[in-house]
Amino acid sequence: MNQVIGASVSRKDGQAKVTGTAIYSAEHQIPDLIYGCLVTATIASGRIRAIDTREAEQASGAIAVFTHRNAPQVFNPNENISRLSESRLPLSDDRVHYAGQIIGLAVADTFERAREAAHLVRVEYEPQAPIVEANKATYVPAPQWLGEDLTYEQIDVNTGNVTTVLASAATQIEAVYTTSMELHAPMEPHAIITHWQSPDMVTIYEPTQAVLMSQRTYADLLGLPTERVRIVSTYIGGAFGCKFLPWPHSILCAAAARELNRPLKVVVSRRQMTANTGHRSETEQTLRLGALADGKLQAIEHTAKSITSPLEDFPEACTIITPAMYAAPNMRLSQELAVMNVGSPTFMRAPGECPGMWALESAMDELAWSLNIDPIQLRLINQTDQHQRKNLPFSAKYFAECLEVGAKQFGWQDRPLQVRSLTRDGKLVGLGMASTTFPGYRGSTSAKVRLLPDGTAHVMSAGNDMGTGAYTVVAMTAAETLGIAVDKIRVELGDSTLPDGGVAGGSQMTASLTPAVKLACEAVLRQAQAQSAQQASEQLKQSGRAAFEATASAAPGEELEKFAFQSWGAHFCELTVDEAIGRVQITRWVSVINAGRILNAKTAASQIRGGVIMGIGTALMEEGHFDPNTGYPVVYDLATYHYPTHADIPRIDVTFIGEPDFNFNPMGVRGIGEIGINGVSAAIANAIYHATGKRIRSLPITPDKIISV
């Protein structure tokens, strides 16, 4: 039977979410719950000379105030076990490394009283001048990069002789591209409830993209056997990378709850989140491309700079994507990192790749104009069937098909080939395109399937759904394999008591988890020795047996030595520019993607649309800065941090080539969570160039840049 996979199925969790019955981490009702409010530093660098908690402790309803002088016990992390967003443990000393760093936790019997107590903590600082401006920071070669598959990768490449070849190339492009600090800004703030049922057993309700990894980390830090920590992460209201690994507030909450022996909730306020739960660093990239007159690249030099905190080495690995995208006999890629007094940056949707593709795909457009070659043609000439750093062939690529289908749908060939040649309603009109690509990651997972006498089945895994549609594709996989309707499948995810479901990072949940679900379903059918699930359920009914149940695991294997797995696509953008007021409005969008077999046409298209919308934010609006005096982020909520609303977004047409990649896994599926955002800002800047003749190399492209360039 093959009718479920590929269909458009509405989210299984959709109704619960829109009717408010889905319970998010902070919403669990636990008797005797108490509330913590974070106290955060108001200087960006220095130390705490004195901290006076007496008034806070006397406030009505106050239960405790934790500072570095009475920090609750946390064990030093074992670096083979714990994975943290920020290496320094909370409240570990009197040092302040960035504005907004957690320096205390006030606990009370209600949230309002906890907040009041937090405001009553008096702090005297010994401040130092912070470094919060990128042009004053000191850059050094970046360390190895912890990729979204959570292995370390060396990102620098140096082949051939870039300097000589660039100097003698027929055509050369050299340009500097910048991006701004960006926030994840998920709808659901970071929130945690920790409930110690006994001195050696804790349940942690927290949105996390990596359930079992987080379980191991908490166990390590709290000095417990792993199985004495239970993580519950049933629903996540958006994560985008910032909920990958535990942050200091989470660790502090777990440790304080143990000391107080009461269930404790900590919600990070929207304002606090702009400082201490991660962001994407600003970047500065220099691209040098040398090409022959026919467009063939002879040399690529791509250097990138990003900023990290004093507490974590996290480079924004912009150059990681370049050797996958294009080939050139001479290639030099390097990455530099500088420390500033800012919160720790972290993974954010297509970390590295998103700003990397902005620079690379802008530079390719500049090269296409200077050579007078169609930008699609330039990409076809230079794309490669072999990953230039991994030296492995790509599996099921179909990039050329993406370009071809997109160009046709969009009407690319009909565009005028001059800048400033199209107008509509008194505005300039521009068309632009860019490529997109993202690696195919896959991890080890397990799933348990239970078939019941009533003809329904229950699928269980600790893997989670951060809003991407995992509940639905897991149900579809089981429905297809068992041959029963999707609505007869109940899916339980996001609980560490269930089999390890891997991580929802690097767009890998579907490719990792659905193969295990498929195997577990097949094992159930084998166990029943039945032709169909229906027949097996019938057997159960007659025999009085409760269920057929099987657990299966799936993991990547030797295919990783034979292929480079990567998804591909192209974006096409039409926009209008009102030069008088600097306003850019996107009017049409076409994205064509090949990400292997598509399991759920509806939620997959939504993932791409979400990526494009986030990319439009990156291109035109999203921007965080630090106040040069205080070091505080000058954006502090969803009003000061601008991102797109419905009025900013046109219809987004998404087409999948859908060519299965059975080299990658038995489902033939690669990830779709991140590929949508890559290349979006370049497609927009390229269209703005076509509309106006102005090449803008700094994001976001706010009205002032349109007016002044």
Write out the catalytic residue numbers.
674
- For the chain, the straight-line distance linking the first and the last C-alpha, in angstroms and rounded, comes to 59
**679 sits near ligand MOS (criterion: CB under 6 A):** no
Counting Cβ atoms within 10 Å, is residue 323 exposed (0-12), middle (13-18) or buried (19+)? buried
Query: Which of 244, 471 has the CB closer to ligand MOS?
Result: 244
Query: Which of 341, 461 has the CB closer to ligand MOS?
Result: 461
**Contact yes or no for 625/180 (Cβ under 8 A):** yes
The one segment of 105-113, 345-353, 474-482, 658-666 that binds ligand MOS by CB under 6 A = 345-353
Query: Which of 317, 619 has the CB closer to ligand MOS?
Result: 317
Q: How many residues bind ligand MOS (CB under 6 A)?
A: 14
Select the residue interacting with ligand MOS from 673, 676, 679, 700 (CB under 6 A).
673
* Shortest distance in whole angstroms from residue 434 CB to ligand MOS: 20
Binding mask 305-344 for ligand MOS (x = CB under 6 A): ----------------------------------------
**Which three-class secondary structure string do you get for 302-365?**
EEEEEEEECCECCCCCHHHHHHHHECCCEEEEEEEEEECCCCCCCCCCCCCHHHHHHHHHHHHH
Q: What is the spatial distance between Cα 349 and Cα 618, in angstroms, rounded to a whole number?
A: 11
Counting Cβ atoms within 10 Å, is residue 419 exposed (0-12), middle (13-18) or buried (19+)? middle
Beta bridge partners of 564: 394
Select the residue interacting with ligand MOS from 349, 387, 442, 670 (CB under 6 A).
349
Q: Which amino acid is it at 567?
A: S
* Shortest distance in whole angstroms from residue 350 CB to ligand MOS: 7
The one segment of 87-95, 297-305, 502-510, 568-576 that binds ligand MOS by CB under 6 A = 502-510
CA 516 vs CA 301, 477, 551: distances in Å: 42, 10, 8
Query: Which of 217, 384 has the CB closer to ligand MOS?
Result: 217
**Contact yes or no for 638/270 (Cβ under 8 A):** yes
> Is the Cα dihedral 509, 215, 204, 251 positive or negative?
negative
* Shortest distance in whole angstroms from residue 167 CB to ligand MOS: 38
Query: Which of 506, 676 has the CB closer to ligand MOS?
Result: 506
**148 sits near ligand MOS (criterion: CB under 6 A):** yes
Q: What is the spatial distance between Cα 572 and Cα 33, in angstroms, rounded to a whole number?
A: 51
Select the residue interacting with ligand MOS from 341, 477, 674, 689 (CB under 6 A).
674
Select the residue interacting with ligand MOS from 72, 343, 351, 515 (CB under 6 A).
351
Select the residue interacting with ligand MOS from 347, 399, 471, 641 (CB under 6 A).
347
**Contact yes or no for 685/619 (Cβ under 8 A):** yes
Binding mask 381-400 for ligand MOS (x = CB under 6 A): --------------------
E strands, 213-321, in order: 229-232, 264-267, 283-291, 297-308
Q: Per the structure block, which two tokens stand in for 695?
A: 């090449």
* Shortest distance in whole angstroms from residue 501 CB to ligand MOS: 15
Query: Which of 43, 504 has the CB closer to ligand MOS?
Result: 504
**Contact yes or no for 631/43 (Cβ under 8 A):** yes
Q: What is the spatial distance between Cα 575 and Cα 684, in angstroms, rounded to a whole number?
A: 8
With H, G, I as helix, E, B as strand and everything else as coil, classify residue 452: coil
Query: Which of 351, 556 has the CB closer to ligand MOS?
Result: 351
**Contact yes or no for 500/652 (Cβ under 8 A):** no
Query: Which of 148, 365 has the CB closer to ligand MOS?
Result: 148
Element (H, E) at 601: helix 601-620
**348 sits near ligand MOS (criterion: CB under 6 A):** yes
Q: What is the spatial distance between Cα 609 and Cα 591, in angstroms, rounded to a whole number?
A: 9
Q: What is the spatial distance between Cα 367 and Cα 357, in angstroms, rounded to a whole number?
A: 15
Select the residue interacting with ligand MOS from 100, 104, 443, 505 (CB under 6 A).
505
With H, G, I as helix, E, B as strand and everything else as coil, classify residue 575: strand
**263 sits near ligand MOS (criterion: CB under 6 A):** no
* C-alpha Rg value of the chain to the nearest Å: 26
Query: Which of 352, 515 has the CB closer to ligand MOS?
Result: 352
**277 sits near ligand MOS (criterion: CB under 6 A):** no
* Shortest distance in whole angstroms from residue 503 CB to ligand MOS: 8
Residue nearest to ligand MOS (CB): 241
* Shortest distance in whole angstroms from residue 675 CB to ligand MOS: 11
Return the residues of window 199-218 that contact ligand MOS according to CB under 6 A.
Answer: 209
Select the residue interacting with ligand MOS from 310, 443, 506, 611 (CB under 6 A).
506
Interacting residues with ligand MOS (CB under 6 A): 148, 209, 240-241, 244, 347-349, 351, 505-507, 673-674
